[in-house]
Homo-oligomer: A and B are copies of this chain.
């Protein structure tokens, strides 16, 4: 039994015209790569793997989204710093800045999804359900296999699911 992935809570988007929502991506597999620009494993492994996903699949079938979930060094991993990072590392997929918490270090999407840290890869199926979550390093072969399997599944009728800001229901 897989639950519908809750919407991302986003302070700002880079590399996209207007905000994205998981609901509007229903019908595609969505790969969300949570990262921090000053996290060494994200830079050496996560970002290249996100690019590899984008290269291996059609964007008609798979949407790749970066999620900048800052939970340390908040004062230097700012939006401006991230923009420089995205430029220098030639990241071309949309990047969401995880909404900072008003009273804690963990940003809201990271909290909502219960992420353990960065990098974390989340894979969401065509029906919008969270199917896989990988914290740390995971092989390209295994990621390709999971996405390939999700693509082989039949997509749900997009109208069947309804979501508001905090919850989704099938009805």
Q: Which residues of A contact B (CB under 8 A)?
A: 38-40, 43-44, 49, 52-53, 55-57, 72-73, 75-78, 80-81, 84-85, 88-89, 139-153
A76 CB contacts on chain B under 8 angstroms: 76, 78, 80-81, 84
**CB atoms of A40 and B149 under 8 A apart:** no
Complex copy number for this chain: 4
Given contacts A147-B148, A152-B153, contact A52 B141 (CB under 8 A): yes
* A-B contact list, 27 entries, CB within 8 Å: A38-B88, A40-B88, A43-B43, A55-B139, A56-B139, A57-B145, A73-B84, A73-B88, A75-B80, A76-B76, A77-B84, A81-B81, A139-B140, A140-B141, A140-B144, A141-B141, A142-B144, A144-B146, A144-B148, A145-B148, A145-B151, A148-B148, A148-B151, A149-B149, A149-B151, A152-B152, A152-B153
User: Could you say which residues of chain B place their CB within 8 Å of the CB of A148?
Assistant: 144-152
Further contacts, 5 of them, CB under 8 A, given A140-B140, A148-B149: A55-B141, A73-B88, A75-B80, A76-B80, A142-B144
Bound Cα distance from A145 to B150, whole angstroms: 10
Residues of B within 8 A of A43 (CB): 43
Instruction: Find A56's partner among B38, B145, B147, B153 (CB 8 Å cutoff).
Output: B145
List the 4 closest A-B pairs by CB distance, nearest first: A152-B152, A148-B148, A144-B144, A76-B81
Shortest CB–CB separation between residue A55 and chain B, in angstroms? 8
Determine the distance from Cα of A147 to Cα of B56 in the docked complex, in whole angstroms: 13
Cβ-defined contact, B149 with A52, below 8 A: no
- Point out the residues of chain B lying under 8 angstroms from A141, CB to CB: 49, 52-53, 55-56, 140-141, 143-144
